[in-house]
Amino acid sequence: MAGKWPPESKIAVSLTYDGGWPCHFAAAEQLEARGWKGTFYLEATRLLGRILDWKRLSERGHELANHALYDVIDESGLLAAMPANAYQDEVGELKALLEELGLPEHSCAYPLPPYRLEDGIPYLEAIVQKTVVRLNEELMRPAVRDLYSVARGPKIGLNPIQLGSREHQRSRFLHFDPVDLRCYPAGALSTRALSNLLDQATRERAWLILAFSTERNRWWSDEHHEALLSTLEDHNAWVAPVIEVASSLKAGAIVA
């Protein structure tokens, strides 16, 4: 899924949706109304529960991707005691399922921490942070790196893009880790905060990945999602799935 970078766009934005919840079908329609496609990180149960619906979504140009461990984060810390192969097997099994659906090119996502927002600043309780860090660093990272060349990581931030020669572009893409791409949680992001992020991405020539982690359909509002999309329309960005932007970057298909 190698996308062609539009010559009029200086930044890229990928909209990602975690878990495969019913509200994400409405989100896809909101994207399509603007000619955009998103990335939907799925876990196996919800993929299999509506497999024909998800297949149709893929046929319309959206990326279906691997989020096998979306639901494993809890506040007990007990997951840290699970064996590494349990995580690695689940990632590999969902990858095989997506490939059987005819989707050999797709990305993966590390489990995101259950962010809470206070005055717009995300924070984590200590026990949750300990569990997430061990899960991602010790268990998920080896599995993801063995199976994927593109993955959305759990860290907050932009992904810098260097414009210039094709060879320089490729080396710059490899300068930030394509198997640990940074993102911003979008569930409680205000339109003003998004506008500021887009302005920053434009100044820094960066790829912005927004993560809608709806946690069992909580923290989701069609109206809020629509408002964020309207804000995004006001900026000169290329909106495309994660795997498409990554393929374009790897190919050096960026305009100066």
Chain segment 85-112, per-residue pLDDT in tens: 777 788 899 999 999 999 999 999 987 6
Q: State the Cα torsion 147-151-154-158 to the nearest 10°.
A: 160
Task: Print the domain residue range for 204.
Answer: 11-251
Within a domain: 122: yes
Within a domain: 2: no
3-state DSSP call for residue 73?
A: coil
Token pair 């809470």 in the structure block, residue: 116
Angle at CA of residue 109, ends 106 and 115, nearest 5°: 150
Within a domain: 5: no
Q: Which long-range contacts (CB under 8 A, 24 or more apart) does 83-88 make?
A: 84/138, 84/139, 84/142, 84/143, 87/135, 87/139, 87/140, 87/143, 88/139, 88/142, 88/143, 88/146
pTM score of the predicted model: 0.86
CA-CA distance, 180 to 81, in Å (whole number)?
Answer: 24
Q: Going residue by residue through the chain, which has 256 residues, state the pLDDT in tens, using 9 for 90 and above.
A: 556 778 788 889 999 999 899 999 999 999 999 999 999 999 888 999 999 999 999 999 999 999 876 655 545 545 556 666 777 788 899 999 999 999 999 999 987 655 554 444 444 455 555 566 666 666 777 778 889 999 998 888 999 886 544 544 444 454 568 998 999 988 778 999 999 999 999 998 899 999 997 654 456 788 999 999 999 998 989 999 999 999 988 876 544 4
Q: State the Cα torsion 192-197-203-208 to the nearest 10°.
A: -140
Question: What is the reported pLDDT for 214?
Answer: 64
Within a domain: 165: yes
Token pair 């992001």 in the structure block, residue: 189
CA-CA distance, 189 to 202, in Å (whole number)?
Answer: 18
**If you compute the radius of gyration of the chain from its CA atoms, what whole number of angstroms results?**
17
Question: What is the reported pLDDT for 165?
Answer: 46
H/E segment holding residue 143 = helix 141-147
Question: What is the reported pLDDT for 162?
Answer: 63
Amino acid at 1: M
Question: What is the reported pLDDT for 53?
Answer: 97
**Residue 220 · residue 187 · CB < 8 Å:** yes
Say how many domains are in the chain.
1
Token reading at 124: 């984590």
**Closest to 1 (Cα-Cα) out of 250, 243, 242, 252:** 243
Token pair 């509506």 in the structure block, residue: 50
CA-CA distance, 161 to 176, in Å (whole number)?
Answer: 9
Within a domain: 30: yes
CATH code of residue 189: 3.20.20.370
**Closest to 193 (Cα-Cα) out of 182, 204, 201:** 201
**Closest to 194 (Cα-Cα) out of 248, 158, 154, 163:** 158
Strands 108-109 and 151-156: parallel
